[in-house]
Amino acid sequence: MTIGIIGDMHLRANLGYADFIADRRIPEQQEVLDTITEELLDCDRIVLLGDNFNSRNNTSEVIKTFITFLKSFGDKEIYILAGNHEKWGDGRSALDFIKKLNIPNWHVISNEVKEIETDEGNFTLCPYFTKSELGVTENVEGAKKVAQMLVGGDVLFVHHAIAGTKTEGGTNTSIFDEIVLPQEMLERNFKYVIGGHVHKPQAGGRTLVAGSIFNNEVNETGKFVYKIELSEEQIQHENIRLPGRGIYKVENPNVEEPTTAAEITNEISLSNIPRNSIVKVILTKDQGKEYVEKVKEALKKFDASLLLEQYPRVRKKLHFEEGMIQFNVASLLSVYAKERKVDENKLIKAFNLIE
């Protein structure tokens, strides 16, 4: 049996940095979705790992995109986990309306752990649980309650952070202020563990974190979907790379053409970044106006760029690609969060609450 695995989708009105692109990244989003459908058509079943929506309240257009995507898999059995972005504290989720559609092969798992038995093996599906719906006040206590529901088996699909994995920024999930499940315990109970929630794709031991499917934030440059072969003999997985613009952050880049192998691999050079990328450059060293003009010229080859002069004791200067300063509220909140170094998700939640 082959299971197709789709990580966090975070469907919303626009992909990150859409305001910097003339086509607002709409064709890019559709290309990613079409690629997933095409690559997973030979799978027997499909698992969506949660955070399919970026918000609990979604526009009709976002919902339509998601439903159309589900329909593209025909009559395959589809299992849809609820993630933290979709859950209210009492256990309700933004996915609950799908249950009312009564489509036999669409299975929403939002407030219970579900075990699926097949001739080739079994797998367990675990959505995100809030502390309040579990009736606990502490993260450790919540993790114990979730662990008690995971009796063991061949493969676990889960939308909770797994201790020891890392975010795109290098933060260890063990310090998250939420329910985090111990990797050692999960691997003791299951032959293979596949996690959502964390956007950085990574693997270690018998645990795979699928990551998200779209490049939305700085340093997201490559995404995947996966196929799991589940049989009585073995479990193995295949990585399938997805299309999409990478989003790169570079500080004080080298703007000269590289001449040696060392320079070519220099990670602060703009020369080794693909042209179809979104690039954010931050200048922290004042190297003069001529250098700034060279950086601007070098950035012209990319699909979109943002240049921030951030010298010590000097007011910040932002430079946007011409014609790309028409921001919506979400973009403004994102820029504000990054520059002020505050949690963007909390900022957006607060705005949605006020709205």
At which of 241, 265, 284 does a domain end?
241
pLDDT tens track for 210-220 = 999 999 999 99
* Average pLDDT for the chain: 90
Specify if 35 maps to a domain.
Answer: yes
Residue 325, number of CB atoms within 10 A of its CB: 10
Total tally of structural domains belonging to the chain: 2
Higher-confidence position of 321 and 6: 6
156 and 176, same domain (yes or no):
yes
SS (HEC) of the chain? CEEEEECECCECCCCCCHHHCCCCCHHHHHHHHHHHHHHCCCCCEEEECCCCECCCCCCHHHHHHHHHHHHCCCCCEEEEECCHHHECCCCCECCHHHHCCCCCCEEEECCCCEEEECCCCEEEEECCCCHHHHCCCCHHHHHHHHHHHCCCEEEEEECCEECCCECCCCCEHHHCCCCEECHHHHHHHEEEEEECCCCCCEEECCEEECCECCCCCCCCCCCEEEEEEECCCCEEEEEEECCCCCEEEEECCECCCCCCHHHHCCCCEHHHCCCCCEEEEEECCCCCHHHHHHHHHHHCCCCEEEEEECCCCCCCEEEECCCCCCCCHHHHHHHHHHHHCCCHHHHHHHHHHHC
Residue range 242-266: mean pLDDT, rounded: 76
Predicted pLDDT at 326 = 44
299 and 175, same domain (yes or no):
no
For 126, the domain range is 2-241
122 and 7, same domain (yes or no):
yes
93 and 130, same domain (yes or no):
yes
Predicted pLDDT at 254 = 84
Q: Which residues contact 104 (CB under 8 A, 6 or more apart)?
A: none
Specify if 348 maps to a domain.
Answer: no
Predicted pLDDT at 50 = 97
Predicted pLDDT at 279 = 94
133 and 193, same domain (yes or no):
yes
Predicted pLDDT at 324 = 44
Is a pLDDT exceeding 70 seen at residue 259? no
124 and 173, same domain (yes or no):
yes
Lowest model confidence (mean pLDDT) among 121-125, 269-273, 278-282, 317-321: 317-321
211 and 70, same domain (yes or no):
yes
170 and 301, same domain (yes or no):
no
212 and 264, same domain (yes or no):
no
215 and 265, same domain (yes or no):
no
66 and 203, same domain (yes or no):
yes
At which of 206, 241, 276 does a domain end?
241
148 and 254, same domain (yes or no):
no
Specify if 335 maps to a domain.
Answer: no
We report the CATH number of the domain holding residue 197 as 3.60.21.10
Predicted pLDDT at 258 = 60
Is a pLDDT exceeding 80 seen at residue 332? no
Residue range 114-138: mean pLDDT, rounded: 95
Is a pLDDT exceeding 90 seen at residue 318? no
pLDDT tens track for 268-295 = 678 889 999 999 999 999 889 999 999 9
Specify if 329 maps to a domain.
Answer: no
Specify if 102 maps to a domain.
Answer: yes
Is a pLDDT exceeding 80 seen at residue 234? no
Is a pLDDT exceeding 70 seen at residue 355? no
